[in-house]
Structures are given as C-alpha cells and as structure tokens.
Structure 1
Amino acid sequence: MAFTFSHDHVGITVTQEDLDATIAWYTRNLGLAVERRFEAHGTTFVFLTAGDVKIELLAGASNRGAAPSDDILTSMYTSRLHHFCLAVADLDAALSRLHELDVPLIGGPMDIPAIGRRIAFVTDNVGTIIELSALGT
C-alpha cells in the first residue's frame, strides 16, 4: 500500500511563559495571524496561519530539560520543533498498516473536537514525532 500525503502543519512546543512572546514574534515578523486558540489535554494550542502555511504552537507545563517521552501528552518537554503532521485519507487504514510494520503509536487515535480532527502519533527511528491526521474529517 502506498500512502498519499499532503502537508498540514508544523508543531512547535514552547513553555507557557514563552507562548505570548512566540505568538507576537510570528505575527510581527512573519505576518501570521492567530486562526484558533484553545485548551485540550492540559495544553494550550495556538494555530497561526498565512495563506496555506499553518504553524501550531503547543504550550504545556513548563518542564525544560526533561528527557524525551514515548507518550504524546508528556513529550512537550522543551522549546523545539515538536512534530510534523501528515494528512491521510483513511486514518484507520494507515494505523493498521503501520501496526503491521511494527510502528508503535505514542498517542491516539484521539478525537479533537475543537478542530474537528481525529489524530494519532508515531515516531520515526530517531524519535521525530509524526502526527497522522484524518483528511477531511
């Protein structure tokens, strides 16, 4: 089975203390606008957009310097690129195929009503977090 992907967004973790300054930097310096801001799973999510560019800022509890995690909800440990997202036509089929390939989930699948999406997370061989998002849901 070959996957068909499209770019969705880039996610960057920041501390709660850095969130407003980070929003200001992206809006001031790159012209992105706040599309949506909401709380879910103990985290503040802010989507910044300009045209078809979307950046997701994720601000959880401040815990700089903690070790990387194998759980999506505890993985937001420092200010860095957090993950990238790939939209897939059929999330269940993609997850089934990844399971067959022994790629473990680190989060989800889960519904995020605030953005109308169903998502799941895996990591690559060096720990890069990859979000899979159901296309068109």
Structure 2
Amino acid sequence: MTIDVRHDHVGITLAADMLEPTIAWYSDKLDYSLDLRFSANGSTFTFLSNGDSKIELISAGAEGRIPMPSSLPATHDIQRLHHICLAVADLNDVLARLRVRGVAPFAGPLRIDPIGRRIAFIVDNVGTIIELTAAI
C-alpha cells in the first residue's frame, strides 16, 4: 500500500524582528493573506495563504541570515532546502507585476524544455529563494 501525500505548506524560520516585515513582503509582493497567528512553546507561528499555496512563518530565536544570492549556480553550493516553487499561469505577466512592486528576478526567465516549463527565481526579504514556474 502506498502512502498518499499532498503538499501542505512551507515553513520559514525568522528572527523575531523580521516577522512583520516578512508578512508585509509576502502580502505586498505576492498577494498572500494572513490566515492565522498564534504563539506556542516560545515561538510565534503565522500562516499565510494565496489560493492553495500556504507558508508558515516561524518566529523565534533564529539568528544569522542567508546571504542574498548573486546567481543561481552560486546557490547550489550548500546543502539546504533550496527553494519553494510557485506555479503561475503567465510567467511574463507575473514578472512584470513584480517589477512594478520592486521585485526583479535574480535568475531567468529560463526555458526548460525537458519539463515543458519556463522558470524564474526571486528572493523574499530574508533571502528565501522562490521559483516561479509556468507551462511553455
């Protein structure tokens, strides 16, 4: 028997002083809405959503920051969760809207024929890499 799984959310840990700016970034740049916020075990948990996409911001004692990427290949140099990926209907339209909102891709758009997708990469205010993908 196989295990039936579905993706539920991505969790991002933050320093306490970055919680409000990160909520604002996802709200202002990618139109996420605040769904729920609560504290437990010394941490604050904040859930954001946009359609079926959910992000959990975990604010506690995190220290140190991921450096902002300078290029896509440079981000492949360390073991870690590399990125989250958001599917969009029209990559060019979304990139144009993001530019107006002050967000430019740091890589792409790229055409990836083996998977029939176009992709581009942006970063949030704390350095989380976000891939945007659409069908060719």
Calculate the TM-score normalised by the size of structure 2.
0.50
Q: Return the index of the structure with the highest Cα Rg.
A: 2
